[in-house]
Amino acid sequence: MTHPVFTAKGLTKTYVSGEVRVHALNDVDLEIAEREVVVLLGPSGSGKTTLLNIMGGLDRPTSGRLFFRDLDLTDLEDRELTKYRRDHVGFVFQFYNLVPSLTASENVALVTEVSNQPMRPADALALVGLEERMHHFPAQLSGGEQQRVAIARAIAKRPAVLLCDEPTGALDSKTGIRVIEALLGVNRQLGTTTVIITHNASIQEVADRVLFFADGRISRIQKNETRREAAELTW
Amino acid sequence: MTALDIKLFRDVRRLWAQVLAVALVVGGGVATLVLAVGSHRSMEETRIAYYERYGFGDVFAQAKRAPKALAGRIGEIPGVAAVDTRIAKLALLDIPGFSEPASAQFVSLPDSGEPHLNRLYIRSGRLPEAGRTDEVLVNEPFARAHGFSEGARFSAILNGKKRELVIVGTALSPEFVYTVGPGDLMPDDRRYAIVWMSEKALAGVYDLDGAFSAVSVKLQPGASEREVIARLDALLDPYGGQAANGRKDQTSHAWLDHELDMLNNMSRTLPPIFLLVAAFLVNLTLTRLVALEREQIGLLKALGYSDGSIVLHYFKFVALIVVIGITLGGIVGTWLGLRVTALFGDFFHFPFLVFATAPDLYVTAGALSTAAAAIGALRALREVVKLPPAVAMQPPAPPVYRRLLPASIQLDQIVSQPTLMMIRNIARHPVRAAFTTLGMALATAILVVSLFTRDTMEQLIDVTYFLADRQDATIGFSEKRIENVVEQVSRLPGVLAAEPFREVPVRIRHGNVERRITISGRPADADLRRIIDADLRPVALPETGLAISSMLGHILGVGAGDTVELDLLEGARRTVTMPIVATVEDYFGIRGMMDIEALRKLMREAPVVNSVNLSLDENRKEDFYAAVKSMPTVGGVALQRVSLANFRKTVALLITTMASIYTGLAAVIAFGMVYNNARISLSERARELASLRVLGFTRGEVLRILLLELAILTLIAQPPGWLMGYGLAWVMKTNLAGELMRVRLVVEHSTYVIATSVVVLAAVASAAVIRERIDKLDLVAVLKTRD
C-alpha cells in the first residue's frame, strides 16, 4: 500500500442536538490510500457523514487524531482548516448545494477563483459531460445535471481528495449511474482519492474498499479485487 | 467580476422587494435629514445673501424730529460703518372696496440715488418722482393681496389729512420680509402695507424738512452693538429718541429668525430621530436577512472561503442595499428640499433663492446607515461563521420549546393549535419578538411625533384666541393718548365694551442677562384680554409688582419672589428694581404684565393709553370700520378674527407642511419595517409552513398561523409606540420653544389613532403580499431539501 492520504486513530465525536447527546463516531481507526476509491456503507446515524465531515475539515473530532498525509487536522485553527479545504478537498453533497443565483459555470468559478492551480470551469464541466449546459442556472438543470455541476465544482481545483455524501441519494438509477460514472472518470483521469457515502449497496462494487458502519464504528471492511464500471451497475 | 460578486447582484435582484423595503427605510431617514437640514441651510444662505446684497442695517432707532446734520455725528460713533436717515410714519389707509381698516408704514426714499442701507429690490414699475406727494411704491405682497398694479389708487390719512395715492411700482426690502401691523400678532398683507414715498414729499406732508424720524446703522465687523446703541440713544435723546434696538428686536428680522429657528429645531430634532430609528430598523432587518443565509454561508466555508471573505461578501450585500437607500433618500430629500425652499422663499417673498448643497449630510447619513447595516450583518454573521461548516450547512437544530404553563394546565384545550404555535414561537424567541415589537413601536412613535404638531397648533389657537385674547379688535394709536380716549372709542358704532391698554418698552435685566420687552398695563378687572395660567385659568394681576412670561423667567433665571432691574425706555428714563410676583404661561413673545395703575405710578404719568381693546357687535362691524377709518389719531386696527385666519395661513401652514412631509416619510419607514418583518418571518418558517400544508392545512390556516404572530406583535407594539411618540414629541416641543413662540404639548387621541392606523394598514398590505407568497409556496421543493 502507498503512503496513506488519511490516517485516523481513535477518532471519536459526540455532539448535542437540542437536548439529545449523540455518539456519532466511536473510536475509529482507519487508513485511506492515494488514488483509492472507498465507499462508506451503513444505516442512517451510523457515523459515515460525521467521519466524512471531519475528513473534509468541516467539523472537529471530540477526541482522537486524524492526519491528512503528514498534516494533523485535529489541532488546526479555523483559518488553517479553511486553507486545508481550499487546497486539498472537493465536496459533493446529496442535495448538490449549488448557489441558485449562479449559473453552472459560475458555480464552478466560485471555487476556481480561490484555488491555486484550477482547471478552467469549462474544462471541469466537460469532464462531467456538461459543457453544453454551462450557462444554465441550477433551476434550469435536472437533478442529475445539478449533481454533475457539483462534481465539476468539486474537482475543478484538482483536489487531493473528493468527498461525496450520498451523491446519488436524490437521483433515479439512470441519472445516479451517470453521476457515478463522472466520479470514477475523475478518479481515473486525475487520480483523486475518492470517498463516497451511500445507502445504496450496489455502488460498493465500483470501490477498491468498502467500509461498513454501525453505531459509530467500522463494523467490517470489504476489499474488492476488481472494480466494476459504473455502466455495469443496476439498482 | 468574481462569482461571489455575481451572486451578490443576483441575490439583490432576487430579493428585490425586501431590498427595496429596507432601502426605503434607509431612504426615509436620509431624505428627512437632507430635506430638513438642506432646506434650512438654503433659507439661511438666502437670508444672508439678501441682507448682504441689499444692505440690511444692524441698529435701528426712531426719533420725533432730529436734524439731518445729526447723521454726520452718528457716523462718527466708533464702530459705525454706514448711516441712513429717513422719515418713517404709521398711517391709516382707505382702500377702495375694502371695508376693514388697513394701515401702512410710510418710509421716505432719498430723492437722488439709492438709500445707503435697506435698499429696495424693485419688482415692477419705477421709483416715485422726487417731490410728488401722490406717487408711491408699495411692497409687493400688499399689491398682490389687493390685485394692485401700476396705476392703482388708494388713500391714506397722512398727518391728519386724507390724500389719494397712485402706485408707480412694487418693491421688496430686507427690512420688511415679515410685515406685522401695529398691535397685530400675525402678518396680514391685505391690511398692512409698506409704502415708500419721495423724501421731499413726505417731509412736506409731516413738516419734517431738513429732519429725520428714523435712522438705520450698519456696524463695522467686530463693533459692539451695545456700545453703539448707548451712544446713539444719547445722541437722539434730545430729539425725542426712542431706545435704539439691534436686529434681534427688529420685527421682521425677529420673526424671520424665529421661523428659521423653528425650521432649524425641527431639522435638529426630527431627522436624527428618524435616522436613528431607520438605522435601528435596518440593523434589525439585516440581522434576520443574513441569518437566513446560514446554509449558503456553510457552503462557502466548505468550499474553502475564509471567514473574512464571507463577512466581506455579506457586508457588500448590505452596503449595496444601503447605497440604494441613500441614493433614493438623497434624490427624494433633495427634491423635497428644493420644493420646501421654494415654498418658503415664496412665503417670505425673497427676491431670489440660494440653494445650499450639503455633501456632508450624505456622508453623515450614509455613514450612520452603513454602520447600522454592517453591525446588523455582523451580528448575524458572528453567530453563523463560528459554527463548523458541517453544522452551518444543516438547518439549525430544532429549537428547544418549553411548556409555558404547568403540565396540569392544558393550554391546547383553551386555545387552538395554531394559536399555541404562535404563542410558543414568540416565547421561544423572546429577544427577536421584543426587537420586532420595539421596531413596530418606533414606527408608530415617529408617526406620532410627525403628527402631533397639528394638535399643538390647535391648542395654541384655542388658548390664545379664545381664552386669553378675546377682544374682537384692538385700536392702536400713533402716539399715546390720555385715557378719556377710551370713552370716545366706546361710543363708536358697534362697540360693546372697551378696555384700555398701556404698553411701555423696557430693558429687563437679571445678572448679566437682559432682554428688551414691553410691559403691558391692563385694568384689574380686564375681561377681554386676560392672562391665563398653566391650568388655563384666568389670573388676576396683583396690585403691585410685575408678572412675566414663564419663558422670560426661564431666560433670566428668575421666578416669583425674585427681583429684576428695569430700564424704562420711555418718558423720564430711569432704572428701577421690581419684584416678580408671578410667571405666566403664554405662547407668543416674552413680555411683562402689570396692573395699569401700578404701571402708571411706575412711569409717574397721568392716565394714558397706547391702545384700546374692543368687543364688537358683529352686525355693526362695517359701521365701526367706517368710523375708525376717519379717526386721525389711529395708527392701526388689529382684528382678532383676521389675525387667527392669518395665523392658520402662515405659521401653522409652514409647520403643518413640514409635519405632513415628515408624516409621509415616517409612513414609508413604518411600511418598510412592517413588510420586512412579515417577509422574513415567512422565509424563516417556510419549511414549517410547507410541512403544515403537506399535512393538510389549508392556505388560509397556514396564513393565519403566520399572520397571527404579526398581528399580535403589531398590536402589542402600539401602547409603547404611543408612549415613545409622546416622549419624542416632548423632546421636539422643548426644542421648538423660542422667545417669539412656543407650544404646549398636546397629543390628541386622534393622532394616536392615525399613527396606529398607518402601521396597521402597512401590516395589512404586507399580509396581502405574504398571502400571495404562501399561495406560491412550493411544497415539494421545500420538503426536498435536507432535514
- Condensed to tens digits (0 to 9), the pLDDT of residues B676-722 reads 888 888 887 777 777 777 677 777 878 888 888 888 889 999 999 99
The minimal CB distance from A82 to the residues B306, B391, B786 is found for B306
The residue whose grid cell reads 397571527 is B708
Is the per-residue pLDDT at B785 higher than 60? no
Would the CB atoms of B303 and A110 count as touching at under 8 Å? yes
Judging by beta carbons within 10 Å of its beta carbon (0-12, 13-18, 19+), is residue B511 exposed, middle or buried? exposed
Is residue B475 one of the residues assigned to a domain? no
- State whether B571 and B448 are in the same domain: no
Pairwise CA distance, residues B33 & B730, whole Å = 20
Report residue A125 as a C-alpha cell.
464541466
User: B71 pLDDT band (50/70/90 cuts)?
Assistant: very high
- State whether B234 and B262 are in the same domain: no
Question: How far, rounded to the nearest angstrom, does the alpha carbon of residue B231 sit from its chain's CA centroid?
Answer: 37
**Shortest distance, CA B460 to any CA of chain A (angstroms):** 58
Q: Which of B214, B246, B278 finishes a domain? A: B246
- Please report the pLDDT score of residue B787 as a whole number: 36
Pairwise CA distance, residues B552 & B739, whole Å = 8
- State whether B101 and B178 are in the same domain: yes
Is the per-residue pLDDT at B786 higher than 70? no
Is residue B485 one of the residues assigned to a domain? no
Residue B7: its chain A contacts at CB < 8 A?
A: 99, 101-102, 106, 110
Asked if B278 and B669 count as a contact pair (C-beta separation under 8 A), the reply is yes
Residues 6+ away with beta carbon under 8 Å from B701: B418, B692
Q: Which residue has the higher pLDDT, B301 or B58?
A: B58
Q: Which of B246, B278, B313 finishes a domain? A: B246
Classified as helix, coil or strand, B93 is: strand
Beta bridge partners of B215: B61, B85
The residue whose grid cell reads 436734524 is B67
* Selection from B681, B684, B731, B683 nearest residue B709 by Cα: B681
Mutant choice from A82, A86, A149 vs B, greatest count of B C-beta within 10 A: A82
Would the CB atoms of A82 and B301 count as touching at under 8 Å? yes
Is residue A94 one of the residues assigned to a domain? yes
pLDDT, mean of residues B602-619: 91
Pairwise CA distance, residues A38 & A209, whole Å = 5
pLDDT, mean of residues B205-220: 94
**Shortest distance, CA A226 to any CA of chain B (angstroms):** 33
Residue A17: its chain B contacts at CB < 8 A?
A: 397
Taking CA atoms, what residue in B is nearest to A81? B304
pLDDT tens column, B508-546: 999 999 898 999 999 988 889 888 877 788 888 888 889
Pairwise CA distance, residues B481 & B603, whole Å = 15
- State whether B231 and B257 are in the same domain: no
Is residue B401 one of the residues assigned to a domain? no
The minimal CB distance from A17 to the residues B4, B390, B397 is found for B397
Would the CB atoms of B307 and A99 count as touching at under 8 Å? no
pLDDT, mean of residues B438-444: 88
- State whether B577 and B669 are in the same domain: no
The minimal CB distance from A58 to the residues B4, B388, B785 is found for B388
The residue whose grid cell reads 432649524 is B264
Residues 6+ away with beta carbon under 8 Å from A167: A92, A93, A94, A147, A150, A151, A179, A180, A183, A196, A198
Is residue B746 one of the residues assigned to a domain? yes
Complex ipTM > 0.85 = no
* Selection from B635, B628, B640 nearest residue B480 by Cα: B635
Q: Which of B213, B231, B246 finishes a domain? A: B246
**Shortest distance, CA A20 to any CA of chain B (angstroms):** 10
Asked if B717 and B437 count as a contact pair (C-beta separation under 8 A), the reply is yes
Of B116-120, B154-158, B501-505, B658-662, the poorest mean pLDDT is in B658-662
Would the CB atoms of A78 and B307 count as touching at under 8 Å? yes
Pairwise CA distance, residues B270 & B449, whole Å = 8
Taking CA atoms, what residue in A is nearest to B400? A18
**Shortest distance, CA B23 to any CA of chain A (angstroms):** 21
Taking CA atoms, what residue in B is nearest to A115? B304
Is the per-residue pLDDT at B303 higher than 90? no
**Shortest distance, CA A101 to any CA of chain B (angstroms):** 6
Is the per-residue pLDDT at B738 higher than 80? no
Q: Which residue has the higher pLDDT, A146 or B410?
A: A146
- State whether B87 and B228 are in the same domain: yes
- State whether B594 and B449 are in the same domain: no
**Low pLDDT (below 50) residues in chain A:** none
- State whether B355 and B438 are in the same domain: no
- Please report the pLDDT score of residue B407 as a whole number: 62
Would the CB atoms of B302 and A58 count as touching at under 8 Å? yes
**Shortest distance, CA B392 to any CA of chain A (angstroms):** 9
Judging by DSSP bridges, how do beta strands B634-639 and B473-482 pair with one another? Answer: antiparallel
* Selection from B297, B323, B285, B291 nearest residue B9 by Cα: B323
- State whether B45 and B72 are in the same domain: no
Asked if B179 and B252 count as a contact pair (C-beta separation under 8 A), the reply is yes
Q: In what order do the strands lie in the sheet with A71-72?
A: A20-33, A4-17, A63-68, A71-72
pTM equals 0.75
The string of DSSP codes covering B238-302 is GGTPEEEEEGGG-HHHHHHHHHHHHHHHHHHHHHHHHHHHHHHHHHHHHHHHHHTTHHHHHHHHH
Taking CA atoms, what residue in B is nearest to A116? B304
- Please report the pLDDT score of residue B314 as a whole number: 87
Q: Which H or E run contains B715?
A: helix B699-736
- Please report the pLDDT score of residue B269 as a whole number: 76
- State whether B730 and B759 are in the same domain: yes
Per CB distance under 8 Å, which residues of A are interface residues toward B?
A: 17-19, 53, 56, 58-60, 78-79, 82-83, 85-87, 89, 91, 93-95, 97, 99, 101-102, 106-107, 109-111, 113-115, 153, 157, 170
Pairwise CA distance, residues B345 & B325, whole Å = 29
Pairwise CA distance, residues B255 & A148, whole Å = 76
**Shortest distance, CA A53 to any CA of chain B (angstroms):** 6
* Selection from B271, B289, B392, B399 nearest residue A58 by Cα: B392
How many Cβ atoms from other residues are within 10 Å of residue B234's Cβ? 11
Domain of A140 in residue numbering reads as: 34-61+74-232
Alpha helices in B348-357, H assignment, sequence order: none
- Please report the pLDDT score of residue A219 as a whole number: 93
Pairwise CA distance, residues A198 & A179, whole Å = 13
CA dist B709 → B418, B433, B713 (Å) = 10, 9, 6
How many Cβ atoms from other residues are within 10 Å of residue B150's Cβ? 13
Is the per-residue pLDDT at B784 higher than 60? no
Taking CA atoms, what residue in A is nearest to B11? A101
- Please report the pLDDT score of residue B396 as a whole number: 63
- Please report the pLDDT score of residue B596 as a whole number: 92
- State whether B123 and B240 are in the same domain: yes
Is residue A12 one of the residues assigned to a domain? no
Residues 6+ away with beta carbon under 8 Å from B715: none
The minimal CB distance from A60 to the residues B4, B388, B393 is found for B388
Mutant choice from B303, B306, B307 vs A, greatest count of A C-beta within 10 A: B303
Pairwise CA distance, residues A193 & B229, whole Å = 97
Domain of B573 in residue numbering reads as: 495-616
How many Cβ atoms from other residues are within 10 Å of residue B431's Cβ? 7
pLDDT, mean of residues B189-204: 93
The residue whose grid cell reads 478537498 is A89
Judging by DSSP bridges, how do beta strands A217-223 and B211-219 pair with one another? Answer: unpaired
Pairwise CA distance, residues B704 & B176, whole Å = 63
- Please report the pLDDT score of residue B386 as a whole number: 78
- Please report the pLDDT score of residue B467 as a whole number: 87
- State whether B534 and B502 are in the same domain: yes
Mutant choice from A25, A48, A78 vs B, greatest count of B C-beta within 10 A: A78
Average pLDDT, chain A: 88
Q: What's the domain count of chain B? A: 4
Is residue B478 one of the residues assigned to a domain? no
CATH of the domain at A191: 3.40.50.300
- Please report the pLDDT score of residue B79 as a whole number: 94
**Rounded to the nearest 10 degrees, how much is the dihedral formed by the CA atoms of B602, B604, B610, B613?**
60
Start-to-end CA span in chain B (Å): 34
Q: Which H or E run contains A54?
A: helix A48-55
Pairwise CA distance, residues B71 & B231, whole Å = 13
Q: What's the domain count of chain A? A: 1
pLDDT, mean of residues B623-639: 85
Of B252-261, B405-414, B619-628, the poorest mean pLDDT is in B405-414
Is the per-residue pLDDT at B406 higher than 80? no
Beta bridge partners of B218: B82
Residue A59: its chain B contacts at CB < 8 A?
A: 388-391
Is residue A20 one of the residues assigned to a domain? no
pLDDT tens column, B306-354: 888 888 988 888 889 889 999 999 899 989 988 888 888 888 889 999 8
Is the per-residue pLDDT at B405 higher than 90? no
pLDDT tens column, B582-594: 888 888 888 999 9
Q: Taking CA A130 as the corner, what is the angle to CA A124 and CA A132, rounded to the nearest 5 degrees?
A: 115
Average pLDDT, chain B: 86
* Selection from B611, B366, B603 nearest residue B473 by Cα: B611
Mutant choice from A110, A134, A151 vs B, greatest count of B C-beta within 10 A: A110
- Please report the pLDDT score of residue B541 as a whole number: 82
